[in-house]
C-alpha cells in the first residue's frame, strides 16, 4: 500500500513517479481532495464530540428545568451533526482506501526510465548459445514426438492453454521442482507447503487486488482465490504480526501450482507450454530490515542465477524500466533463458524489492528492541524458477539430432536417466 503521508508531503514527486510509470498523475489530486474532506470533517467531528461531553456534564449540574431542556436540545442537534459527519468520514475512509489501493509503488532512483518492455536494460549475458549441426526443433514438436507432452489431451480435459506431461516429461518436471527446492534450501531458505486457495485479504495484501482482479480465478461461493504465485500466501504468513528484528531476514521458499487467466492475444506468444492458465513455479521470499533490502535483492538475484548457471543454459539479466516494472515493485531484475529453436529469450524469473508496500497492506511490522516503536518490514520475492519456460529451455538446448533430449547433469540423480528418448 502506498504511503499516504508521502502523497500529502510530496505530491509532485508522486505525480512524477506516476508519469514515469505511464500512469495517471491526476490520481494524486483525487486522493488529496478526498483526504482534505476526511481531515476537515474529522476535525469538526472531534470538536463536536468534545462539545457534547462538556454539555452532558453541564446538564447533570443544572437545576433549572428550562435550562436543562434547552441544553438537551442542543445536544440532540450536536448528535445529528455527529451522525452526519460520521457517515462523511466513513465514506471518505473507504474512498481514500480504494484510491490508494491502485497507486503503484515508487521505483528506486536507479531504475531506468522507459515507456515499456522494449526499453528494459540488459545488464549482462552469461554463456554462449549452442551451435547446432542441425535445425533445432521447437518444444511443441519435440515434446509430442517423444511422447512426453500431449496438447490434444490437455485441451480435451481442460480446454485451450492446458497440456498433459507424461512419462519422462512428468518425471523431468518433478525433478526440476525438487532440485530447485533443495538448491534454495542449501542457500538458506526454509521450505513451506502452502494452501493453493486463499482469502481475498491475502490476495490484496500481496498487491494482486484490486488491479489484477480480472486475471485471477475466484471461487465466488467460498470467496476463495486460487493463487497466481506462492508470493501471495507467503506474504501473509506473518500478517498482523510484529517480528523480532534479531531474527530478520526470514528467507522462505515454496513450490505451488499457479493459476492465471493470461488474457493474451492468440498467436506465437501462446504456442506450446510458454503461457498457460496453470503452471508450476518455485518462489523465494524474504522479510528483512528496511536498510538491508537493497543488498537482499542482490542476494535473491544471485540465488536465482545459480539455478540458471547449474543448468548450463545461456541466460541474461535485465533491469526493468519504469514503464514495465511490476505494480508493487521498487526495483526488478528479470532472468531470461535462451530458447534456440524459438530464437528468443524466455523470462523465467523476476526478482523484486517491494519495500514496505506489501507490509503496509498485510500489517507486518518489527520492533528493533523492547519498547521501541514498530516499523514496517521490507519484503522481496523472486521466481526460482518458473517451470514451463525452464522446461522449454532444457528441452530445446539439450536436444539431439536423433530427437532425444540429454538430461542436464545436475538433474540426473532426480530424473534417474541420462537421455530422454
Count of Cβ atoms closer than 10 Å to residue 50 Cβ = 10
Mapped onto helix, strand or coil, the DSSP state of residue 334 is strand
Per residue in 251-307, pLDDT (tens digit) is 999 999 999 997 654 455 778 999 999 999 999 999 999 999 999 999 999 999 999
pLDDT tens digit sequence for 388-414: 999 999 999 999 999 999 999 999 999
Q: What is the pTM of this model?
A: 0.92
User: In terms of residues, how long is the chain?
Assistant: 421
Q: What is the mean pLDDT of the chain?
A: 95
Least confident stretch, 15-24, 30-39, 72-81: 72-81
Residue that the C-alpha cell 492453454 belongs to: 161
Question: What digits encode the pLDDT tens for the residues 36-81?
Answer: 999 999 999 999 999 998 888 888 788 788 888 888 898 999 999 9
| Tens of pLDDT, residues 85-116 | 999 999 999 999 999 999 999 999 999 999 99
CA atoms of 29 and 8, how far apart (whole Å) = 10
Q: What's the pLDDT score for residue 265? A: 46
User: What pLDDT score does 152 carry?
Assistant: 97
Distances (CA, A) of 243 to 165, 251, 361: 42, 14, 16
Neighbours of 15 (CB within 10 A): 18
Q: What is the pLDDT of residues 212-246, one digit of tens each?
A: 999 999 999 998 999 999 999 999 999 999 999 99
Q: Extract the C-alpha cell encoding 83.
A: 451522525
pLDDT exceeds 80 at position 309: yes
pLDDT for position 269 = 72
Report residue 387: phi and psi, to 5°: -75, -50
Q: What is the DSSP secondary structure assignment for residue 200, as one 8-state letter?
A: H
Instruction: Give the residue carrying C-alpha cell 466513513.
Output: 90
Amino acid at each position: 500500500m502506498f504511503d499516504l503521508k508521502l502523497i500529502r508531503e510530496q505530491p509532485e514527486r508522486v505525480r512524477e513517479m506516476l508519469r514515469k510509470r505511464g500512469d495517471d498523475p491526476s490520481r494524486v489530486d483525487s486522493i488529496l481532495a478526498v483526504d482534505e474532506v476526511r481531515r476537515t470533517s474529522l476535525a469538526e467531528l472531534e470538536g463536536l464530540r468534545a462539545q457534547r461531553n462538556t454539555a452532558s456534564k453541564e446538564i447533570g449540574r443544572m437545576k433549572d428545568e428550562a435550562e436543562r431542556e434547552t441544553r438537551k436540545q442542543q445536544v440532540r442537534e450536536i448528535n445529528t451533526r455527529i451522525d452526519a459527519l460520521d457517515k462523511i468520514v466513513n465514506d471518505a475512509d473507504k474512498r481514500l482506501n480504494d484510491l490508494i489501493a491502485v497507486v503503484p509503488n515508487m521505483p528506486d532512483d536507479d531504475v531506468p526510465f522507459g515507456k515499456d518492455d522494449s526499453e528494459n536494460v540488459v545488464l549482462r549475458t552469461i554463456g554462449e548459445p549452442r551451435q547446432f549441426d542441425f535445425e533445432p526443433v521447437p518444444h511443441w514438436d519435440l515434446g509430442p514426438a517423444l511422447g512426453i507432452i500431449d496438447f490434444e489431451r490437455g485441451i480435451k480435459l481442460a480446454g485451450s492453454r492446458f497440456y498433459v506431461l507424461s512419462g519422462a516429461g512428468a518425471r523431468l518436471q518433478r525433478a526440476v521442482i525438487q532440485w530447485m527446492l533443495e538448491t534454495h534450501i542449501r542457500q538458506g531458505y526454509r521450505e513451506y507447503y502452502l494452501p493453493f486457495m486463499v482469502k481475498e485479504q491475502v490476495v490484496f495484501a500481496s498487491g494482486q487486488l484490486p488491479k489484477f482482479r480480472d486475471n485471477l480465478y475466484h471461487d465466488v461461493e467460498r470467496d476463495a482465490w486460487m493463487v497466481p504465485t506462492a508470493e501471495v500466501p507467503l506474504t501473509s504468513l506473518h500478517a498482523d504480526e510484529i517480528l523480532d528484528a534479531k531474527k530478520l531476514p526470514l528467507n522462505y521458499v515454496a513450490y505451488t501450482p499457479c493459476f492465471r487467466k493470461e488474457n493474451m492475444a492468440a498467436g506465437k506468444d501462446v504456442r506450446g507450454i510458454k503461457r498457460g492458465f496453470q503452471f508450476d513455479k518455485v518462489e523465494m521470499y524474504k522479510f528483512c530490515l528496511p536498510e538491508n533490502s537493497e543488498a537482499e535483492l542482490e542476494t535473491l538475484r544471485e540465488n536465482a542465477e545459480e539455478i540458471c548457471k547449474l543448468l548450463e543454459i545461456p541466460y541474461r539479466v535485465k533491469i526493468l524500466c519504469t514503464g514495465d516494472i511490476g505494480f508493487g515493485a521498487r526495483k526488478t531484475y528479470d532472468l531470461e533463458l535462451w530458447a534456440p529453436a524459438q530464437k528468443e529469450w524466455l523470462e523465467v524469473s523476476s526478482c523484486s524489492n517491494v519495500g514496505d508496500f506489501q507490509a503496509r497492506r498485510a500489517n507486518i511490522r518489527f520492533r528493533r528492541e523492547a519498547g521501541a516503536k514498530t516499523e514496517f518490514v521490507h519484503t522481496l520475492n523472486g521466481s526460482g524458477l518458473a517451470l514451463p519456460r525452464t522446461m522449454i529451455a532444457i528441452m530445446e538446448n539439450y536436444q539431439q539430432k536423433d530427437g532425444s533430449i540429454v538430461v542436464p547433469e545436475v538433474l540426473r540423480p532426480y530424473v534417474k536417466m541420462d537421455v530422454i528418448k
